[in-house]
């Protein structure tokens, strides 16, 4: 049994990938399986937290012992996260949220026309859920974001993470290199965690569960440092 260092805490985790419908049978999506977010939810639960998991299109089984809110689109995820975040001690945004959605959703299945040569989709921006939380007063809630980046160079990757942390107003940011065979979908992950000052406060590599525990070690330390949380 791990240390119950999150006992009495309420932790919200988003996981999985949003899907943005085009018509009744098609969507724009991404390759997030939900594994990393679920591992964070499970690890927090094991350390004594009351956990709400906002689950977007998981490709693996839901974890036991969590309050699960199922969503599909970014707009649904936004509403569920906003609702769950009220009064939470920690919010971790591990979900892969679509930055754009189709400008209109067809009620009928889109059909190809003879000789049309192709199809152009018009997309509109989705709200940035992490930035909305980060730029609103959130005293008492430690806000943890991710930066999923394909940048191969380690120093530049860290710079992208620092810029994203600042842009979104997150208290901690987990820099996650991703690619065809990295980050998304697999059982292992490698991350670097940076704080409000852009300092590297942890790095972890291994199973998504071990990465989750390393993140929670930082989160527990930050909760202890800020008595108002
Ligand atoms: O699910 P797995 O298969 O295990 O893969 C795990 C993962 C790689 C998906 C996960 O570890 C991860 O990196 N999640 C964040 C994915 C992402 O959307 O990254 P981003 O750099 O595009 O977004 C930055 C942050 O803003 C994220 O915390 C994201 O949740 C949030 N965001 C992004 C867009 C948006 N419209 N609203 C948001 O809140």
Complex prediction ipTM: 0.99
Beta-carbon count within 10 A of 226 CB: 11
- The verdict on residue 57 lying in a domain is yes
> What per-residue confidence (pLDDT) applies to 194?
98
**In-domain check, residue 112:** no
| Chain position carrying tokens 């949220």 | 97
- Confidence (pTM): 0.97
pLDDT (0 to 100) of residue 209: 98
Residue 199 carries which DSSP code? -
Domain containing residue 59: 10-98+123-225
Spell out the alpha helix ranges (H) of 47-93.
74-85
On whether residue 5 sits in a domain, the answer given is: no
pLDDT at 228: 55
CATH of the domain at 18: 3.40.50.10300
Residue 178 in contact with ligand 1 by CB distance below 6 A: yes
Please state, as a whole number, how many other Cβ atoms lie within 10 Å of the Cβ of residue 148. Answer: 19
176 among known catalytic residues: no
CA–CA gap between residue 227 and residue 224 (Å, rounded): 6
Q: How deeply is 196 buried, as exposed, middle or buried, from its count of CB atoms within 10 A (0-12, 13-18, 19+)?
A: middle
What's the number of domains the chain is made of?
1
**What pLDDT was estimated at residue 229?**
55
Question: How far apart, in whole angstroms, are the C-alpha atoms of residue 16 and residue 184?
Answer: 10
Report whether residue 34 contacts ligand 1, using a CB cutoff of 6 Å: yes
Does residue 104 belong to any structural domain of this protein? no
Looking at the domain assignment, is residue 82 inside a domain? yes
Determine, yes or no, domain membership for 111. Answer: no
183 CB near ligand 1 (under 6 Å): yes
Profile the chain (229 residues) by mean pLDDT over runs of 10 residues: 95 98 98 98 98 98 97 98 98 98 97 94 98 96 98 97 98 97 97 97 98 98 80
Tell me, yes or no, whether 167 lies in a domain. Answer: yes
Q: Within 10 Å of residue 126's Cβ, how many Cβ atoms? A: 18
Which ligand 1 atom sits closest to the C-alpha of 81? Answer: 39
**Which residue has the CA at smallest separation from atom 33 of ligand 1?**
97
Query: Residue 63 domain-assigned?
Result: yes
Q: Which residues are annotated as a binding site for CTP?
A: 99, 109, 127-130, 146, 164, 168
């Amino acid at each position: 049994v791990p240390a119950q260092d999150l006992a009495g805490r309420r932790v919200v985790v988003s996981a999985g990938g949003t899907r943005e419908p085009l018509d009744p049978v098609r969507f724009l999506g991404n390759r997030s399986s939900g594994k990393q977010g679920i591992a964070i939810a499970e690890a927090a639960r094991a350390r004594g937290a009351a956990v709400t998991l906002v689950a977007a299109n998981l490709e693996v089984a839901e974890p036991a012992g969590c309050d699960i809110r199922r969503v599909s689109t970014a707009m649904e995820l936004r509403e569920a996260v906003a609702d769950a975040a009220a009064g939470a001690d920690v919010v971790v945004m591990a979900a892969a949220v679509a930055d754009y959605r189709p400008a209109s959703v067809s009620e009928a299945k889109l059909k190809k026309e003879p000789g049309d040569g192709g199809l152009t989709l018009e997309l509109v921006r989705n709200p940035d859920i992490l930035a909305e939380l980060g730029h609103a007063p959130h005293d008492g809630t430690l806000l943890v974001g991710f930066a999923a980046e394909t940048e191969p160079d380690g120093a530049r990757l860290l710079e992208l993470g620092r810029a994203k942390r600042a842009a979104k107003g997150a208290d901690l940011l987990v820099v996650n290199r991703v690619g065809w065979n990295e980050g998304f979908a697999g059982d292992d992950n490698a991350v670097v965690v940076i704080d409000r000052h852009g300092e590297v406060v942890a790095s972890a590599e291994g199973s998504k569960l071990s990465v989750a525990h390393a993140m929670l070690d930082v989160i527990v330390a930050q909760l202890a440092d800020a008595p108002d949380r």
